[in-house]
Amino acid sequence: MVAGLACAPAAHAELYGFVDADGIAHFADRKLDERYKLFMREGGSFDTSRESSAAPESDLEQHKLYRYVVNHPNIAKVEPMIRQIADKQDVDPALVKAVMAVESGFNPSAVSPKGAIGLMQVIPDTGARFGVSGDARRSVEEKLADPRTNISAGVRYLRWLTELFPDNIELVLAAYNAGEGAVQRYNNRIPPYPETQQYVSTVLQFYRLYKPGGGAVVTRTSAAAGGPSRVKMVIGGRRTMP
C-alpha cells in the first residue's frame, strides 16, 4: 500500500448531515444551519447523543444518514471494481470509496455543471490525461460515463497525486478538489478555499468510516430495507478537478 495513504491522519472535524425531503443527503464538516445534525464525532465515533427532546426524530435522521453512508445500494455494485482497480494502482480502496462518496454520492450518472462526470467526477481533460481517449465510436465523455473507466481514471489521478505529494493525504485530496496547481501555488499547503478545506476534512471523515474497523459494521440486509431512492452527496459549492 502507498505510504501516505495507508492510514488517515486524525480528522480535525466532525461530520454533520441531514437527508432532505427529496431524499438527497447533505454532509458538511460543520453545522451549516439548523438542519444539520451531528453524525460522526471527531475521532470517528458515531454520535449517540440527542440535541433536543425529539429523540424519535433524531433517531430517524441518524438512521437515514447511517444507511446512506454504509448501506447505499450502489456501494455493493461498485465495491468489487473499486478493490480491483485500487489494488492494481496501489491506492487504498477505502480512500477511493470516500472520495466517491463525496464526489458523486455513488451516482454513476452524476454530471456537474462544470462537466465532471460519473462516480469519481472526472472531467474529460483529466480523463484524457489518465488513459481515456475518444475514438470513432465513443467520445471521452461517453467513455467516462462507464463506471469502470471512470473509476480507473479517478484512481490513476489519485495515484499520480500521491507521487506528487508523497506521505500527505490532505494535499492529495486538496489537489483532487482544487487542482494540483492550486496546492503548489500555496507552497504545498491546502488552498485557503472554504470549499476545499471542507472537502478535505469531509473526505477524511468518510475515509475513517470506510477503513476496516473504522466504526461502521456493514450489513447488506439493511440496504434493501427501503429509504430514500434518490440520494446524492451535497457538500456545498463543489468545484471540479482541473
pLDDT of residue 144: 97
- Cα separation, 22 vs 229, whole angstroms: 9
Cβ contacts of 23 within 8 Å, gap of 6 or more? 227, 228, 229, 230, 231
Residue 156 placed within a domain: yes
Is residue 241 in some structural domain? no
Answer whether residue 52 shows pLDDT above 80.
no
Question: What residues are annotated to the active site?
Answer: 103
The pLDDT, as a whole number, for residue 240 is: 36
Q: Is residue 207 part of a domain?
A: yes
With a CB cutoff of 8 Å and minimum separation 6, the contacts of 112 are 121, 238, 240
Written as one letter, the residue type at 185 is: R
Instruction: Return the residue matching grid coordinates 432532505.
Output: 20
* Mean pLDDT, residues 39-45: 61
Q: Is residue 239 part of a domain?
A: no
* pLDDT class of 39 with cuts at 50, 70, 90: confident
Question: Is the model more confident about 236 or about 14?
Answer: 14
Q: What is the mean pLDDT of residues 182-193?
A: 97
Residue 240: inside a domain, yes or no? Answer: no
Q: Residue 238: is its pLDDT beyond 80?
A: no
- pLDDT tens for 78-120 read 999 999 999 999 999 999 999 999 898 898 998 988 899 999 9
- pLDDT at position 128: 96
Residue 242 in domain? no
Count the Cβ atoms, other than its own, within 10 Å of residue 62: 18
pLDDT at 29 over 90: no
Half-sphere exposure (Cβ direction) of 149: Cα atoms closer than 13 Å: 21
Q: Which domain holds residue 163?
A: 3-234
Total number of domains constituting the chain: 1
3-state secondary structure labels for all residues of the chain: CCHHHCCCCCCCCCEEEEECCCCCEEEECCCCCCCCEEEECCCCCECCCCCCCCHHHHHHHHHHHHHHHHHCHHHHHHHHHHHHHHHHHCCCHHHHHHHHHHHHCCCCCCECCCCCECCCCECHHHHHHCCCCCCCCCCHHHHHCCHHHHHHHHHHHHHHHHHHCCCCHHHHHHHHHHCHHHHHHCCCCCCCCHHHHHHHHHHHHHHHHHCCCCCCCCCCHHHHCCCCCCCCEECCCCCCCC
Q: Which of 26-35, 86-95, 137-146 has the lowest mean pLDDT?
A: 26-35
pTM (2 decimals)? 0.75
pLDDT for 50: 42
**Does residue 122 have a pLDDT over 80?**
yes
| 16/7 Cα distance (integer angstroms) | 22
Residue type, 137: R
Q: How much is the pLDDT for 214?
A: 56
Closest CA to 195 of 210, 222, 176: 176
pLDDT (average), residues 9-18: 63
Q: Does 105 reside within a domain? A: yes
Higher pLDDT, 131 or 12: 131
Burial of 173 from C-beta contacts in 10 A (0-12 / 13-18 / 19+): buried
Is 50 among the domain residues? yes
Domain at 142, CATH number: 1.10.530.10
